[in-house]
Structure 1
Amino acid sequence: MTRDLEGAQSFYGAVLGWTYRSGSFGPEFTVALADGVPVAGMGALAHTMGIPVSWTAYFAVDSADTAAARIRERGATVAVGPLSIGKGRAALAADPAGAVFGFWEGAVVPGWQVGRGRAPAWLELRTRDAFAMAIFYGQVFDWASGRPDACEVEYEHDAVMVRAGGQVVAGLRGGGVEADPDPQVRPRWHVYFRVADVDAAAEAAVAAGGTVTAAPDRSRVGRAATLRDPHGGLFTVTTGKP
């Protein structure tokens, strides 16, 4: 979600090499392409919806109404929707710790999955209690339910790893977030995009008006750098995968 769709397209085109096409959701939405493959969506709705500029992780569900009901039953918040958008339905929610996420009922690009191909390399929830949040998301999205298409969950030290089809797609990490109201340390889902050269991407981000919040260095997903676009959207670029 951004306040300046044209400016966001210019920035991410320079940093990540993305091109764009119109989506089916209306003039305020666009689809970002990497090598011609959809990799992300952008919507010029941050100002209209009263939310900060940010990247949001969306999870596919069979029923948006069921997911919304499960979220509310567990004391969390459905902030927007479910709304009919194009040929699907979408909603924005916040988990019990305050991390914002979305969910989508409808078709997805065939074969598209985090960690594979041109899709984002990794999703990470940075929260206070990873295990409590794993229970929450597991109950909402049927993780570890035994269904053939369900995500599996593994506990590793202070983290929870989420697998889909044998591929690690997300991690939930706790313990490093204090109860400070500063938006820099609030619980949040964080997205990693894969690039060929992390240092070049960081330099391009600065040249395009963004900032580097964590300089290129080794990380759990390979060499990585955390960047912020000119309007405040936070993301990480990496050469590797989990």
Structure 2
Amino acid sequence: MGSGETAKVRCVAAVPCWVSLTARDLEGAKAFYGPLLGWEFEPGPDRFGPYLHAVTGGEAVAGLGVAGSDWAMPVAWTSYFGTESADEAADAVRERGATLAVGPLAFDAGRVAFAADPAGAVFGIWEGPLGRARRLDLPGAPVWIELRTPDPFAAALFYGQVFRWDGRDPERFDVRWEHDRVVLRAEGHSVAALAREQAGGAAGLSPHWEVSFAVPDADRALARAVELGGSAVGAAFDSPYGRVARLQDREGGRFAVISPKN
């Protein structure tokens, strides 16, 4: 995360508003994600190691970094929730029996922490200058972020308490049940969800936040990912929010692409 010189990064309270890849080979990640998602790259803050912003349509939509030697993190995408207070969110994580792994730490765009919910799904906490929700019409942007967990209702209770979902302005934020999911809506748009999946379910993964990037054609993106040295995690499929393909990058980082419904 951080604030690029030409592309603005937005912190949006209560919802996932930033995603970041922890890679081992940053140049290899650029060579894979750049042509796949149409990204350009700008230097980001390097306080915790080399870091880049992925930019599309003039907006920073994701970060790519190499974890410092003290952080034993796997190659993975992490979703960050915006918050008005990283300290209060971190305290709420501890109070509810979950794991606070790192932070909160100060850096140029605010304060950040890493945590795992009671089921083990890793997420980030980001306190920074608050802005509006991200655009949903940008190819290459993370337009759908979904928690895959055995008990979405217990998860919703946890995240709702940590990020204070109750009592927020209903004109800008609400939580609802649709398509067998707990869905988070920001400024009139569904942006994230919590869905039921038993441990070891699809692709044999433990509970996790799955990041889906917008593409014009999920099937073509699947084929292109394979050409670039990645791999498909099953066939593309239709979801209530668009056609989805689950993928792995060259280093095994899991993510998805989605052709959103109009």
TM-score normalized with structure 2 length: 0.84
Letter in 2 for 1:18: W
Q: Helix, strand or coil for the counterpart of 2:23?
A: coil
How do 1:92-171 residues align onto structure 2 when only pairs under 5 Å count?
92-107=114-129, 110-113=131-134, 115-117=136-138, 119-147=141-169, 151-156=173-178, 158-171=180-193
Counterpart in the other structure of 1:39: 61
Letter in 2 for 1:10: A
Q: Helix, strand or coil for the counterpart of 1:200?
A: helix
* Overall identity of the aligned pairs, in %: 46
Counterpart in the other structure of 1:22: 43
Q: Is the 8 A contact 2:100 2:113 kept in 1?
A: yes
* Structure 2 residues without counterparts, runs of 5 or longer: 1-21
Letter in 1 for 2:175: V
Counterpart in the other structure of 2:239: 219
Q: Is the 8 A contact 1:46 1:53 kept in 2?
A: no
Counterpart in the other structure of 1:6: 27
> 1:157-193 CA deviation, whole Å, 9 max, x = no partner?
642111111211111012x213x59983200000110
Q: Helix, strand or coil for the counterpart of 1:142?
A: coil
Gap change, CA 1:222 and 1:231, over 3 Å in 2: same
Letter in 1 for 2:33: Y
Gap change, CA 1:132 and 1:46, over 3 Å in 2: farther
Q: Is the 8 A contact 2:144 2:191 kept in 1?
A: yes
> 1:132-151 CA deviation, whole Å, 9 max, x = no partner?
11010001001132346863
Letter in 1 for 2:162: V
> 1:187-242 CA deviation, whole Å, 9 max, x = no partner?
00001100112222112211111001122232222122111001111111111159
TM-score normalized with structure 1 length: 0.90
Query: Does 2:228 match 1:208?
Result: yes
Q: How many residues align?
A: 239
Bigger mean CA deviation after superposition, 93-102 or 211-220: 211-220
Counterpart in the other structure of 2:105: 83
Counterpart in the other structure of 2:211: 191
Q: Helix, strand or coil for the counterpart of 1:70?
A: helix
Ranges of 4+ aligned residues in structure 1 off by more than 6 Å: none
Q: Helix, strand or coil for the counterpart of 1:214?
A: coil
Gap change, CA 1:181 and 1:199, over 3 Å in 2: closer
Q: Helix, strand or coil for the counterpart of 1:57?
A: strand
Q: Is the 8 A contact 1:121 1:241 kept in 2?
A: no
Bigger mean CA deviation after superposition, 71-80 or 219-228: 219-228
Query: Does 2:246 match 1:229?
Result: no
Gap change, CA 1:239 and 1:100, over 3 Å in 2: same
Q: Helix, strand or coil for the counterpart of 2:226?
A: helix
Q: 1:150, 1:187 → 2: CA distance?
A: 28
Q: Is the 8 A contact 1:125 1:172 kept in 2?
A: yes
Q: 2:257, 2:179 → 1: CA distance?
A: 25
